[in-house]
Amino acid sequence: MENLTFTLADFEGPLDLLLYLIGKNKMKIADIEIVSLIDQYLQLVNHAPDAGMDEASEFIEMAARLIYMKSVFLLPRNDEQDELREELTGMLVEYSACKEVAVRLGTLADGIFIAVRQPLELEQDMTYHIQHSPEELRRACKAIQGKQVRKAPPTRQEFDPIVTAPFVSVASRVVHVLRGLVTGKIHQLCGFFDKKRGRSENVATFLAVLELLKSGRITLDENEKITLRKSNTKRA
């Protein structure tokens, strides 16, 4: 490879240097010779004039990535080689497209006069104007200290509706459903449920309907109409 004299500042970044090498070797981005490209990149970076750490950090990071890629490509054929090739190719394609767009935008801005004044220095008001209640400040202080505000234990009145709830058996609701169908008072599924009744009673009714459907004693159509099987009418 011919000796070139350049500085890292000549390139906008490692991808810009890689695109330069691809163009110099007349390669296609979609079909680049990875190992050859890596060798040229590393040689140029190693023989480049001394540069500052900030300027060379991106190039060194890319060099470390390319060294890893080269070690993978020296191994027998595997799926990781294709993944690394696609990743590098995608980065180069995206960077090349962005560079072309930047050139086009630059040409559009040619000849346009832009006047920009110096930014005004604003006086900063460090006064805290928001007012908070003492309770809100107490919670904020507890949160800063990593402490959670303990909730008060539940009262007896909160447990009474749960503890004193009446027990409703599924068997009793089976009888209720069959009686409503035999007498003809109820024909729809919603007729067996009432919001005024307790949760236990509605749950037991629902389980009773499921049990009757499972045993084949009743049928339920798409319109939620419940029908008692004729063969079981006398038995009910």
* Range of the structural domain that residue 184 is part of: 167-232
On whether both 99 and 178 belong to a single domain, the answer is no
Residue 41 belongs to some domain of the structure: yes
Position 176 scores a pLDDT of 84
Position 162 scores a pLDDT of 63
- Domain boundary residue among 108, 123, 148? 108
As a whole number of angstroms, the distance between CA 86 and CA 52 comes to: 31
On whether both 16 and 87 belong to a single domain, the answer is yes
Is residue 39 within 8 A of residue 33, CB to CB? The reply is no
On whether both 103 and 173 belong to a single domain, the answer is no
Entry pTM: 0.40
Residue 162 belongs to some domain of the structure: no
On whether both 92 and 178 belong to a single domain, the answer is no
Cβ neighbours of 183 (radius 10 Å): 8
On whether both 104 and 175 belong to a single domain, the answer is no
Residue 198 belongs to some domain of the structure: yes
Residue 53 belongs to some domain of the structure: yes
As a whole number of angstroms, the distance between CA 191 and CA 174 comes to: 14
Residue 47 belongs to some domain of the structure: yes
pLDDT tens, N- to C-terminus, the chain (236 residues): 444 445 566 677 778 878 877 877 777 766 677 777 778 777 777 766 555 666 677 777 888 888 888 888 888 888 888 888 888 888 888 888 888 888 888 888 777 777 788 888 888 888 888 888 999 888 888 888 766 556 667 777 776 666 666 677 888 888 888 888 888 888 888 888 877 777 778 888 888 888 888 888 888 888 888 888 765 444 44
Residue 127 belongs to some domain of the structure: no
- Domain boundary residue among 66, 87, 108? 108
As a whole number of angstroms, the distance between CA 48 and CA 34 comes to: 21
Number of domains comprising the chain: 2
- Domain boundary residue among 108, 131, 151? 108
H/E element holding 105?
A: helix 79-108
Half-sphere exposure of residue 87, counting CA atoms within 13 Å on the CB side? Answer: 10
43, 179, 181, 191 from 185: Cα distances, Å: 93, 9, 7, 9
Residue 113 belongs to some domain of the structure: no
Residue 145 belongs to some domain of the structure: no
